[in-house]
Amino acid sequence: MTIKPIYRRVLLKASGEALMGTQGFGIDVSVADQIASDIAEAKELGVDVGVVIGGGNIFRGVAVASKGGDRVTGDHMGMLGTVINSLALRTSLVKLGVDAVVLSAIAMPEICESFSQRQATAYMDAGKVVIFAGGTGNPFFTTDSAAALRAAEIGADALFKGTQVDGVYSADPKKEKDAVRFARISHEEVLHRGLAIMDATAIALARENNIPIIVYSIHEKGGFGAILKGGGHCTVVAEQ
What's the per-residue H, E or C state across 60-107? CHHHHHHCCCCHHHHHHHHHHHHHHHHHHHHHHHHHCCCCEEEEECCC
User: Phi, psi at residue 95, to the nearest 5°?
Assistant: -60, -30
Provide the pLDDT for residue 24. 80
Provide the pLDDT for residue 173. 84
The answer to whether position 2 is within a domain reads no
Give me the domain span that covers residue 142.
9-237
- pLDDT tens string for the chain (240 positions)? 568 899 999 999 999 988 988 888 889 999 999 999 999 999 999 999 999 999 989 887 666 667 777 889 989 999 999 999 999 999 999 999 999 999 999 999 999 999 999 999 999 999 999 999 999 999 999 999 999 999 999 999 999 999 888 899 988 888 888 889 999 999 999 999 988 889 999 999 999 999 999 999 999 999 999 999 999 999 999 986
Provide the pLDDT for residue 65. 65
Number of domains in the chain: 1
Helix H or strand E encompassing 68: none
The answer to whether position 163 is within a domain reads yes
Rg (CA), the chain: 17
State if pTM tops 0.85: yes
Select from 2, 95, 107, 88 the least CA-distant residue to 45. Answer: 2
Provide the pLDDT for residue 64. 65
The answer to whether position 4 is within a domain reads no
The answer to whether position 1 is within a domain reads no
Q: End-to-end alpha-carbon separation of the chain, Å?
A: 32
Provide the pLDDT for residue 186. 93
The 3-state DSSP class for residue 174 equals coil
The answer to whether position 102 is within a domain reads yes
Q: Within its chain, how far is the Cα of 107 from the centroid? A: 21
The answer to whether position 149 is within a domain reads yes
Q: Report how far residue 234's alpha carbon sits from residue 54's, in angstroms, rounded to the nearest whole number.
A: 20
The answer to whether position 167 is within a domain reads yes
According to DSSP, the residues that pair with 34 across neighbouring strands are: none
Q: Report how far residue 191's alpha carbon sits from residue 157's, in angstroms, rounded to the nearest whole number.
A: 21
CATH number for the domain harbouring residue 129: 3.40.1160.10
Q: Within its chain, how far is the Cα of 119 from the centroid? A: 20
Q: Report how far residue 205's alpha carbon sits from residue 148's, in angstroms, rounded to the nearest whole number.
A: 6
Is there a contact between 138 and 146 (Cβ–Cβ < 8 Å)? Answer: no
The answer to whether position 165 is within a domain reads yes
DSSP assigned state of 145? H
Provide the pLDDT for residue 12. 98
Provide the pLDDT for residue 62. 64
Select from 106, 108, 89 the least CA-distant residue to 30. Answer: 89
